[in-house]
Structure 1
Amino acid sequence: MTHDLTALPTPTAAEGLAERAHRDPHRPRFHFTSPGGWLNDPNGLTHWNGVYHLFYQYNPLAPAHHRIHWGHATSQDLVTWTDEPVALVPGTEGPDRDGCWSGVLVDDGGVPTLVYSGRHGDRELPCVATGSADLRHWTKDPANPVIAAPPAGADITAFRDHCVWREGAVWRQLIGSGIRGTGGTALLYESPDLRTWRYVGPLLTGDAAGGGPDDLDWTGTMWECVDLFRVGASDVLVFSAWDEGTTHHPLYWTGRYEGDTFTPEALHRLDYGRRYFYVPQSTLDAHGRRVMFGWLQEGRDDEATAVAGWSGVMSVARVLTEAPDGSLAQAPVPELAGLRRDHVALGSPTLTDGTYARLDAVSGDQLDLEADLRLAPGATARLVVRETPDGAERTVVELTRDAADPARGTLRLRRERSSLDPDVDTEPRYGELPFGPDGGVALRVLVDHSALEIFANGRALTARVYPSRPTEAVGVGIGATGAVTVDRFDAWRMESISEGPRPLWP
């Protein structure tokens, strides 16, 4: 993906990044972050010989998107991570001298192989690197770039990011792009060996004229980080809508992939947080689960991240399944519960119409909260987190069941009072929430300093919050308008997954 480029800092300027990052009170502690500097797209996600490998876009020299490397971390459980040596470093010459951008890892007959976008100037072209058996050492292919140019005669908006899979005797690849004047697209290629590629044509092309950047389901002028896979009875094509350097939101089509085309049936929002869950990547693990990570962008300005020494968070690992309506249902991987400590069970607290109660038994900035609620038609339930004692700062998760159509409602995150800092983003986020006949909602909220992930009846909403009084903004409360029943409320403190600063160059 693209971002405004900044001047490359000297190594001296990078000194202390990890230490500053570790001290920042807004830095998440049970989400994966880079040791310091810059993190963006998840890359090369795979479950290889029983080990999960997460690669990611990384700048170890500054919290700025410039001359991107591939960071690398491994895990046995998708929760706790070990930093590995940096996998890819931009060359001193060649097609990736200005950055090793997003891509994937595939198994080429037992040889781990990366397919990634090498950047040189304003050109982004596919490159290949092969790895050692432990995936710690990588050799770039002398044939790079393996595709010398975008398709001849096509007026495209961009050409980068890769989805690669084996299909019968050949490899197939999707590259994110856009047809100027038309919309975003996924360009399909085919190869016998991952080096010699034949252009097949667009798999699917969107319609950028159907709406505009402010519309929550606008498909953009370019599709970043396309991902094609099957869940249940549907094929799923995930992409992130981009336009002229601006990142918008992740979407996905459900439909049918057959031959050289994808026939779409329905367009869905992947996460209601818009750019706060962006350019996700998934893999099928050895347990048969479709596991996905996304990039949580920052909601504060470049000056603040420069002082903090870091930028960018990886989401927790999510398991994707098919919902009853054919869409994707999302939930944190069950392994995340291994970080839970100090359980508090509130049973079934009584909610009175129009009231709000602080939950004195629950507080913190590293929390896992679960509640089973039942809402009458027209009712609204509110869960408040990161609240200061005086209520000046508070973030509100709001669930509303529609009075006219009780099978539908809204999941809304109200951040207007999440921070007294005028320079951070506090715009609300929202999306549609399905309800069953009894008005039930299974709600889970992960609070990790500035990172917030919400799951309600399989729908996800991700965002960032930056209280100006972070050590005081630890309160939790619950309230309601209309008839709301709380069948269960459980809370846990979450353990940190690392202690102390980590080396920028493991």
Structure 2
Amino acid sequence: MSGLTACGCFTGSAVNHRGTATVIYTGVKAATSDRATLRDGAHNFREVQCLATSSDPELRTWRKRERPILQPPEDPLLTGFRDPFLWQDGPHWYLGVGSGQRSQGGRVLLYRSLNLRDWEYLHPLASGDWTGRDSVNPVDSGEMWECPDFFPLGGKHVLLYATAGQVVWETGELDPKELVFHPQKRGVLDHGAYYAQKTQLDAKGNRILWGWIPETRPEAEFSAAGWAGCMALPRVLSLGADGSLAMLFAPEIRSLRAKSCFIPPFESHVPSALVIRALQDVRIQNLSGEFRLNTKYPRSSVTLQDRSGPWWSATLEPKDTSTAKLSVNGKTVDVPIVHQQEFSVHLLLDASVVELICNGKHAFTTRIYRKPDGPLRISLSDSDLAQLDGLEAWQLRPISPDRLTS
């Protein structure tokens, strides 16, 4: 690559502008220290916002604008300038760029335009706080926000960004006059291996979330495998009754379902032997399956195991009146609870990836590189079996016969 993207490019956004596909993205090239916006301790890079268009119906050919549409602010405290997102309101386009200031915190810089090419800087749309830690990478210390996204949902606005080792969501109000976002609720989008989140609207007006699943194994291993990273399954976002962000796997995933098993909710007089026998019939072959199960709160757990023992497990147990501990494969996080009477688990498994959504709000994506010894089965303790309130399982068809699994 050369020119504006001599050292690569970062994420951006695509829109339909008067019938023309238009992408605004971040270009990266080497720079002197005084001109750099991105420093890794050994290299200095400058980030600018670029534009490309395509009239090709298949989007195979693009025309790239030779000059940047946005230069970074001349701010010596600037910690980054990348990952633009767009929205339109009346004749104006608005563009947010992930940024931040050293020893202050991450922020989203807001710009306005009538034609997507000439931009006026307004002010920060939203700002955060520095963690107080020093780090070569300002994203790790909360001094830079990466991959921001901003959109209306359920009568509120939602801001997504990545910083300090987490992908964060915030819901709140956008002041229509001041164009400043005021958050009211905050949480973690996914507690596991999940990054570079991005949303879109589908044909039905649903807000669809996409994400990238990075590797959690050593670099030498994925270099030897010849591939690294994959896309998460799409999720549909909504606003919960308490104003928090809720999510479900997109219904289109159902088209991958094959053989199924169903255990309906049962009364206490049903012999547990029947349930045990039904559970023994639940087997997932070829590391490709889906599970949905409900158990009664407050403490619940579920395990997938092979002939060698546990392969994946999740446990939810109360910590106090408003918080529960969610543990997945040994990693524990605190999640809020609102008088929850049921532990709802929706699990999708594809090769080394396990995606979990708990109670429609708490996501946890896991990478597991140990190939199972035989088919995977559901294992429940006697206490969890007594709390079981229904289970569904499907063998899934892989999207391709030659998918990368190791």
- Contact conserved, 1:351 with 1:485, CA < 8 A, in 2? no
Q: Partner of 2:147 in structure 1?
A: 225
Asked if 1:100 is matched to 2:23, the reply is no
Report how many aligned residue pairs link the two structures.
376
Say whether the 8 Å CA contact 1:340–1:495 is kept in structure 2. Answer: yes
User: Which residue of the partner structure matches residue 296 of structure 1?
Assistant: 213
204, 211, 226: which one aligns with 1:287: 204
Corresponding residue of 1:139: 62
Equivalent residue, structure 1, for 2:162: 240
Tell me the residue number matched to 2:333: 430
**Alignment match of 2:167 (pick from 232, 239, 250):** 250
Within 5 Å, which residues of 2 pair with 1:258-277? 258=175, 259-273=178-192, 276-277=193-194
- CA RMSD of superposed structures (Å): 2.7
Q: CA deviation at 1:463?
A: 2.7
**CA shift digits 1:305-362 (9 cap, x unpaired):** 011111111111100011111011110011111111111123357899xxx9994212
- Mapped to 2, the partners of 1:358 and 1:305 lie a distance apart of 38
Q: SS of 2:221's equivalent? A: helix
Distance in 2, Cα, partners of 1:383 & 1:145: 52
Distance across 1 between alignment mates of 2:225 and 2:98: 32
Structure 2 letter corresponding to 1:105:
A
Find the partner of 2:24 among 106, 115, 136: 115
Pick the aligned partner of 1:195 from 103, 117, 123: 117
Mapping for residues 346-425 of structure 1, pairs under 5 Å: 346-348=263-265, 359-364=279-284, 365-375=287-297, 377=298, 380-385=299-304, 387-391=305-309, 393-401=310-318, 405=321, 408-415=323-330
Answering whether residue 178 of structure 2 is matched by residue 178 of structure 1, we say: no
Q: Secondary structure at the match of 1:342?
A: strand
1:459 aligns with 2:381: no
The 3-state SS of whatever aligns with 1:305 is helix
Q: Which amino acid aligns with 1:136?
A: L
What is the CA-CA distance between 1:164 and the residue it aligns to? 1.0
User: Which residue identity lines up with residue 361 of structure 1 in the other structure?
Assistant: D
The equivalent position to 2:90 in structure 1, one of 163, 168, 176, is 168
- Alignment deviations for residues 145-175 of structure 1 (CA, whole Å, 9 cap, x no partner): 111x311235211111011111221211000
Q: TM-score, normalised by structure 2?
A: 0.85
TM-score (norm. length: structure 1):
0.69
Structure 1 unmatched runs, 5+: 1-90, 243-247, 416-427
Partner of 1:449: 351
The answer to whether the 8 A contact 1:206-1:219 is kept is no
CA–CA distance in 2 between the matches of 1:230 and 1:211? 33
* Aligned mate of 2:248, from 331, 341, 354: 331
Q: What letter corresponds to residue 139 of structure 1 in structure 2?
A: W
SS at match of 1:304: helix
**1:476 CA displacement:** 2.4
Query: 1:473, CA displacement in angstroms?
Result: 6.6
Task: Give the 3 Å change call, closer, same or farther, for CA 395–205 of structure 1 in structure 2.
Answer: same
1:270-293 Cα shifts (integer Å, max 9, x gaps): 1122xx111210011220100001
For residue 493 of structure 1, what is the aligned residue in structure 2? 395
Are the structure 2 counterparts of residues 199 and 435 from structure 1 closer, same or farther at C-alpha, using a change threshold of 3 Å?
closer
Secondary structure, counterpart of 1:310 in structure 2: coil
**CA shift in 2, pair 1:156/1:481, >3 Å:** farther
Which residue identity is paired with 2:333? Y
User: In structure 2, what is the Cα distance between the partners aligned to 1:328 and 1:189?
Assistant: 26
In structure 2, do the counterparts of structure 1 residues 130 and 297 end up closer, same or farther at CA, with 3 Å as the change threshold? same
- Cα distance in 1, alignment partners of residues 50 and 401 from structure 2: 36
Deviation at 1:249, TM superposition (A): 1.3
Shift of 1:482: 7.4
Q: Tell me the amino acid that sits aligned with residue 179 of structure 2.
A: D
Tell me how far apart the structure 1 counterparts of residues 158 and 223 of structure 2 sit (CA, whole Å): 38
Question: Does the CA contact (< 8 Å) of 2:288 and 2:396 recur in 1?
Answer: yes
Query: For 2:232, which of 311, 315, 336 is the aligned residue?
Result: 315
* 1: CA distance, partners of 2:308 / 2:346: 25
Distance 1:351 1:366, change over 3 A: farther
- Separation of aligned partners in 2, 1:154 and 1:221: 14
Q: 1:361 to 1:319 in 2, by over 3 A?
A: same
Q: Aligned with 1:369: secondary structure?
A: strand
- 1:176 deviates by 0.4
**Aligned-partner Cα distance in 2 for 1:328–1:357:** 38
What's 1:124 paired with?
A: 47
Matched AA of 1:344: C
User: Higher relative contact order by CA 8 Å / sep ≥ 6: 1 or 2?
Assistant: 1
Give the Cα–Cα distance (whole angstroms) in 2 for the partners of residues 483 and 436 of structure 1. 22
Shift in alpha-carbon separation, 1:482–1:210, aligned structure 2, 3 A: farther
Counterpart of 2:78 (choices 129, 136, 156) is 156
Contact persistence 2:239–2:245 (CA under 8 A): yes
Q: Secondary structure at the match of 1:497?
A: coil
* SS of match in other structure, 1:411: strand
Separation in 2, partners of 1:476, 1:482? 12
Structure 2: how far apart are the matches of 1:192 and 1:400? 52
Cα separation, partners in 2 of 1:109 and 1:309, compared to 1, 3 Å = same
TM-fit CA distance, 1:294: 0.8
State the AA in 1 paired with 2:377.
G
Q: Deviations over 1:191-235 (max 9, x none)?
A: 22111112112111111137899xxxx981111111000111211
**Is 2:380 the counterpart of 1:478?**
yes
Quick one: structure 1 residues 286 and 482, their matched pair in 2 at CA, closer, same or farther if it must change by over 3 Å?
closer
